[in-house]
Homo-oligomer: A and B are copies of this chain.
């Protein structure tokens, strides 16, 4: 039996073996180059060594599941990745391209010519093509569209027309339909004639002659009911259905809420146009969770671990630039109080504490709100109680930590006024952090933006500038 720990070990082992073979390959190549043999002899040795290695590596790779080859490709730096890709791409490139992440896929496609890409595409179903299509060069895509029959071309074009976050972009077309006026016996005979059912088929779609959805017949019900019964009698006539233009996010929540494995996708006339499966939904959930994590850290999009320095700089510069501007604003706030700092230089040492803890506390609040918004738990009716709670938490934290800091500040500088200013500034900055921590994601949502993107940078900006202003302002007033 294929046991998971073994699977995993063998996956790590496979990776190690591939790397070992690649290293050996490189080592021998280097040796050959160093010995400076005359050209013909050198290329002879090279070609023998090369062939031996290649055969070993190829054997290894041929045994692996496409998902596992994809894993190895993701874990290899670019040069080695392309060496491996060269070896596998002839046979299973289509499947493997589907399994790798977007960023890695681009590096692989860049290494293929038009013919190779077309050959890869031909191995795939229409819905799989739709996943691949956005990364293909335009001329290849056109040639591909020409090579499809009418129905598949229609499907591909309509799938491409939907945005990435719509059900239409995620659905597939592996649907098995039956009529409602037959008996289970006839249905089973029909299935036996088909021979195999698509992956994840847990239900048959019951349609009329115009493909209008009438209900669904779970296989579970098909196998436990009397063969004389009619499909109409035992089908579920109130299934959860989706429309191609529904948001993938809502669909994934419905899959979780109602524990679905597959669900029909219908157009506005209730005509069956495709189906959504749990594996696609699961991939979508994973990708969304990752992209939320990346965007909270100010990375614009998914980044290949080994993408070039220049590409990474482009991916990351936007938020660094935003951060630069907010840092400059904070710096100018400090600039306003240079006089006070010159008089009491301790202010310079203490001010980052007030700003930093405000930022941390504000981020905690924002994260709670972003999560509540994502789960749909926050609306106008409970904003008031939320804000009240967060203000309470901040007041308590401000008084506790502010007092601790007041005592520490006194121990360091023996200035009681400075201590009190410190405590007051901490408390006020935490209250500011609470208000902004609630408001920033709410305002972003209201204005139609994703509250996960950049909330963290914005809240830090406010608590930095605000913290400096409050602390230095109070100091300027009370420490003359």
Task: Tell me if A163 counts as interface (CB < 8 A to partner B).
Answer: no
Contact B368 A305 (CB under 8 A): yes
Interface of A is mostly: helix
For residues 348 through 403 of chain A, which have their beta carbon under 8 Å from a beta carbon of chain B? 348-353, 355-357, 360-361, 363-364, 366-368, 370-372, 375-379, 381-382, 385-386, 389, 392-393, 396-397, 400-401
Count of identical protomers in the assembly: 2
Task: Mark interface residues in A83-120 (1 if CB within 8 Å of B CB, else 0).
Answer: 00000000000000000000000000000000000000
Contact B1 A316 (CB under 8 A): no
With A201-B220, A328-B353, A377-B305 known as contacts, the answer to whether A241 contacts B3 (CB < 8 A) is yes
A316 touches which of B285, B361, B405, B460 (Cβ 8 Å) = B361
Interface size, A (range): 35 or more
Contact B372 A305 (CB under 8 A): yes
Closest chain-B Cβ to A357's Cβ sits at a distance in Å of 6
Task: For the complex, give the distance between the alpha carbons of A460 and B353 in Å.
Answer: 13
Closest chain-B Cβ to A96's Cβ sits at a distance in Å of 13
> Considering residues A338, A371, A401, which has the most beta carbons from chain B within 10 angstroms of its beta carbon?
A371
Task: For the complex, give the distance between the alpha carbons of A305 and B438 in Å.
Answer: 12
A144 neighbours in B (Cβ, 8 Å): none
A385 neighbours in B (Cβ, 8 Å): 77, 306
Query: Which 3 A-B pairs rank lowest in CB-CB distance, beginning with the nearest?
Result: A289-B289, A309-B392, A297-B367
Q: List 21 A-B contacts (CB under 8 A).
A: A3-B242, A7-B240, A12-B376, A71-B377, A74-B375, A192-B224, A289-B292, A289-B293, A292-B293, A293-B296, A294-B371, A297-B364, A299-B367, A299-B368, A312-B393, A316-B361, A320-B357, A347-B348, A348-B348, A352-B464, A356-B464
